[in-house]
Structure 1
Amino acid sequence: MVKTLVHRFIIFVILSNLYHSPTVQADIHIPLGAIIEEGNTKVRQILELAVDQINRNQTLLPNVNLTMQFYHANIYQQYRNLKKGCLAANDQVWTIIGPTTSSDVECVQYMATSVSLPQIAPVASYPGFDNRPSLKYLLRMSPSDYWQSKVLASIFQSLNWPYAALLASNTDYGINSVAEFQVIAAQRGWKILAYEIFNVQETNDVNLIRKRLKKIQDSGVHIIILICLSSQADIIVSQAHRMGLTSKGYQWLFYDNTITEGRLHSNPPRYLEGAIGMISNPNRDNPVYRKIESIWKKDHTSDLDPFSLRYYDAVLAFAYGLQKLLPNISRIAPTMMSCDKIIPWANGNLLMHSIKTSVGAGVTGPIQFGINGSPINPSFQIVNLINQTWKNIGKWSKDSGASIDINKIVYMGHNLDPTILSTGLKGVNLSIVTTIDPPFMNLINSSELYGNNRFEGIVKDLLVELSKMLQFTYKLSLTEDRNYGSVNETTNQWTGMVKKIIDQKADIAAGAFSITASRSHVIDFTKPFLDQGVTMLVAKPKSLPPSIFQCFAPFTLNVWLLIAGSIIFTGVIFYATGYLSPFDLYGSAVRHLPLHANDSDYSGNSIPRVDKLRWKNYYRDTIYSTNLGNSVWNIISSFLQQGHNKSPNALSGRIITGFWWLASCIIIATYTANLAAFLTIDRLNSGKIYV
């Protein structure tokens, strides 16, 4: 009995506790979709870390459990990226993170807009996105390439560099960045002495890359700007090093995405020591960054790079936006969204607006979007590679502009004078060979003049101006044989100034050189400063005064007489065949002559009598149309393409008519063409004769 009472009491207590305990709300599972490259484990790990840390932070999204679904597609495969985005939409994800390149992002965004699905692009930086209101479901974590070109222009302006060479990939990232910097360079008078766009597939063939680099090397410019992804840049700079393009006297500059990941970020080669770049780098004093860095280093040996951290911030941006919708989160979930049937998410615009207007701390800096979906205040760190580490030497922001500590910069090859990079010839003394050829080069016979002052002429004036512009000195000398240079047929050796260049006894040959194919095989020519060609002079045609008879000008008098004779001759032949042929109109009428046997000859025999008067009256039109005059008139009518009433019935007449029609077409076509040329030749004549 006692045991029964005890058992009942225990059950009562348990039931009472269950009845009075607060209800535990189940977690809401929210799937996110990420389109990343196959094999990019670092980005995958960063995204998984971001989801894990947000799920642990119950103050940010309480009772919410984020999950990340991955969809793999390589870069520059727009159709495959679109298919993966469509698959993510069908899986009812709440947002799409990725893909990598701007062209891939744009392709997926068209689908995302049609189904009202927010898309966050971590690294897409196409400037055109800033002015595309149709892409209203796109947010970007990276600033536009337009601002990177502004940063690069600030570096050039601070260091007074007026020349540069551009080497960029043919991707949207490379081409758009190059285009914007070219606009700035043109406005400020900077010269782009070499401009090479390479196909990304060329990085698989080092010979193609070396050809690009050789053109830059031949241009003489020593400041090289590289704009491409880091994987491509690693191959290019290694080939540039083998060609001596990273030695003292050269300076390389890199854009953001070129050095924000891969080997050039974590372990840059020593031969790039002194290179300059720009990075939208995270603030390492940022508490969010320090926390994520400490967690990352527990399980990974690689460093965090800005490229990967933008994916982390993309998840954070989604979380900040979702936080404002927590009271209504269960009612806005996508349930019927479909890419295949184009069924939009009814509440996708609410989530998009919430993310776009959210503000919070990020790993790479504050998260806040502008009206066009890009970071509201883009900023960059200007970095210098010192001891294989990218160190800050300045900063740039949209609001405050650039601030660069020039004294901290270490240039490539430990060069101490950055102005020597302005041209590859500053301070160089050149040996220039020439020959006497007035007015291009002439020797002044004066005992009071020495050195370069002994020479005068057009070429001498050009050398003076070039030496001032490029800051080099030179020494002029004459060739022994006073020749420009040709191949000696006996010795098969070059002579004159060409020989001096081949034998490396002179740096430059200056004169009125003729550019020939044989010379081009052994020496390089500059752009010509004078074009001189042999011209034939002919008498200017005399313009005829206006006349009503100008319509006869296309043909000469002899031609007109021949045409008139042909008309008469053909008319006679046409008449003769029609008159003599028994099968033509006249012959057919003759066969119908009325005959009467009421006449007799002198012997009294009966003979037929023709009633010509009656016959002529009956066949008057036929007889009249086939006489000589009308035959000629029919030929004239055919010639003028008017036709005639009576066409021949006999084969002979039709053959003559057919040939005459063909001849008429040819004559009229020739006349029309000559008349048009005759009437316009005076308009085309400018009245100037060039020699």
Structure 2
Amino acid sequence: MVSSVLVILLFLVYTTNCYVKQVYKVGGLFNDENQVQAFTTAIDIMNKKYELSQMQLVPVPTIIPTHKVLLSYNKACKLLSQGIIGLFGPSSTHSSSYIQSLCDLKEIPHIETHRDLNLERDNTLVNVHPHPSILSRVVFDLIEEFDWKSMIILYDTDENLLSVSTILEFNSLGRTVVLRQLEVGNTNEVDGYRTMLTKVKLTKETKFVIVCSTDILETVLKQMQEVGMMTDIYSYIIADLDMQTIELQPFQYAGTNITGIRMIDPERKEVIATAGEIRKRRNVSDPLEDLAVIAAWKLKLESALIVDAVKLFYETIHSLTADDKMFINATPIYCKSNDNWAEGYTIINLMKMMSVEGLTGTVKFDFEGFRNNFIVDILELAPAGLLRVGGWNSSSRSFKFERPYKAPLSDDKQSSLFNRTFTVLITILPPYAMLTETATQLVGNERYEGYCVDLIDSLSKLLGFNYTFIVQEDKNNGNLNKTNNKWNGMIGEVIEGRADLAITDLTITSEREGDVDFTMPFMNLGISILYRKPEPVPESLFMFARPFSLSVWIMLGVSYFLVSLAFFIMGRLSPTEWQNPYPCVEEPEHLVNQFSIRNSLWFTIGALMQQGTELAPIAISTRTLSGVWWFFVLIMVSSYTANLAAFLTVETLVTPFKNINELAAQKEIKYGAKVNGSTANYFRDANLSSYNEIWKYMVRHPENMMSDNDDAVRKVESENYAFLMESTSIEYATERHCTLAQVGGLLDDKGYGIAMAKDSPYRNELSRAVLKLQETGVLTSLKIKWWKEKRGGGKCSRKSEGGAATPLDLQNVGGVFLVLFVGSVLAFIGSFVELAVRVYRISKGKKLPFKVALKRELKFFVQFKENVKDVPDSNTEDANDNNLIDKTEIEY
């Protein structure tokens, strides 16, 4: 029986141990949070993949600054003391060698993922990043494949230059290689790399190898475009493996030959799934960035290599521990001791023999421990985006191009804007289009500058079209002639086909959209009022009364009289307030009360003026009321002082009207709008009766209608005149004319658009491009440039609006009045309680009914002229008692 029980117990113990997971810690030294997220995500993915396995890895990551070598060493020692079975990182060349020496000494598997120019075979090191010398051959072979005879290498750091050092061998092969370091301009950081790139452009070289970090790559490409180095005569090879992570859309229609390389295929399902898991840990607020497909294109090589390294390490540990082949004993290792880990070499040797399929392709190592047999994708930027056109195999060191089939262009060339030339109609109207201010003679498009000129230029770079500006001399945006149903101005030019595009302060209206097409608005605005700046409020003799509103002053006066009356009443009710007028006489015949009606008024006003009086309350009730009144006075006086200071220091401005309705209601100020403009038409077609009255006024007074905004601005400055115009034009005028300001808010909501012929095939592409410029902040920067910086912008320093002080109302100080009221009520209750106690003692001593004694006190109380009272314990008081208490009261 006993043996059977033992057998069962042993079986249970055995089966239980079979399902208990062995937990192993894995350390990590990383430079930023992105690397930590990739590390922890990869371990979670592998743990879920082998959920039924008897082992489980637990990540122990640590973030260390790049240059902190000693800190890295100390953190590594701390991780070893926790019993880790492997150490990932650091991703820094500064501290990598120190950590590697430590791992070699302690025989701990060391896994790295960064590019190491001095990478050599080490006992315990596995680096999943391809050897830099091998990657350098990719660019070398590409140059040979393209048969470049000369080139310029643009690099940012010496380390990046050394990563493509094999290219320098071309100098000995009869080809010309020139080095140019990317340096920021000496004038200011805004200039960026433009000065340097302009000098490079003057060399007439058209073939470049760009070796720089992706942190600046997009900026470099944009500034190349700005200096004219993004045309079809230029060719670029980008040597960074993270090229696909930057925004390349602005360059894909330029016709430039841009070639790049990568090790991650963002269209693979495994890459998309892993990138999505990593992105979830970052709590990205933009909903589009949460998409796994977008995240896959943004996944950087360093994160992908960490995921692959974790996968390789996990598969190694799993193969060792599966089916109880080996039990790994994770023991703490200390840096100050001579011990090492006996099982480290077993793991590291097996890792170098393993082969796994990761995000960067096949992870496999040669006999020296360097990664081999991997494929680098060759990419080209086309109008359709970034396309894979081939691959480079590290084993054969050869290319295999698989260029996609390019369909012949359709005969209908209208379907695309690429390489088309458009006639763009503009008007000379600041800041939308102006003649360039220069002493030299200019020709062509260089004659013009302004917001619309820069906008068309940005669209052309984005979509790859050419353009020629022509000017609408009469500055007429376009109006419909109801008689012959024909348009004049810019709209008419577009309809007649004399201009492909028209751009200025051209408002999108339903009437215009009936005959032409518009892009989506590139600027949103509304109608408002331009008028002279508000004038300061004239000084007043009663300026001191302005900190409080009239209602507060009235309440303050009422409170003063009510509290004074309360002092008078409570003083008469409270026995303690009846005092001996002659302190030297121990038994006086009379008592006096200090709170007469005059003294009560004086005591209250003395506290209110913060001067005090010689009166001192004695009774609890009067002291309570005094404390509450003093608190009330403290708050009110402090509030008055603070608001008075604001009134005296802040200039309060006043304008004759505050909105369009007040403007229409008055008769002194003249007003108008632009003749036949969209603003005038808005009031003409409005359904509101008040707006119809404004239109009728404009019809009755045609002399107030202006043909030009500049004339209107001068009229507003010199006369008592208000001008109705778009808010953007008002903003431009107020930046340069400091006596003018916008009055009121916007009356409507509309936008400016680019006009083109009806049913134009360019509309959708141009609208998407405008939207792209809006999303990237280009439109905002252009507005800041031409409104606030160029041509006198920023001349008028703006004062913050709403700085005028406002009188304190009851809602601001109502709580203080409430405290005063509650305190007064409590003081009254105290007076009656005190009186009742006093009457009770007198009635008990005189053996009188309480009601009779109370009635006697109240009878004296209502004799307000009497301010002298008999002493209760004197004979006089007894006589008075007999006189005051009649027989009827005693019988009662």
Q: Which protein has greater RCO, CA pairs closer than 8 Å, 6+ apart?
A: 2
Structure-2-length-normalised TM-score:
0.39
Structure-1-length-normalised TM-score:
0.49
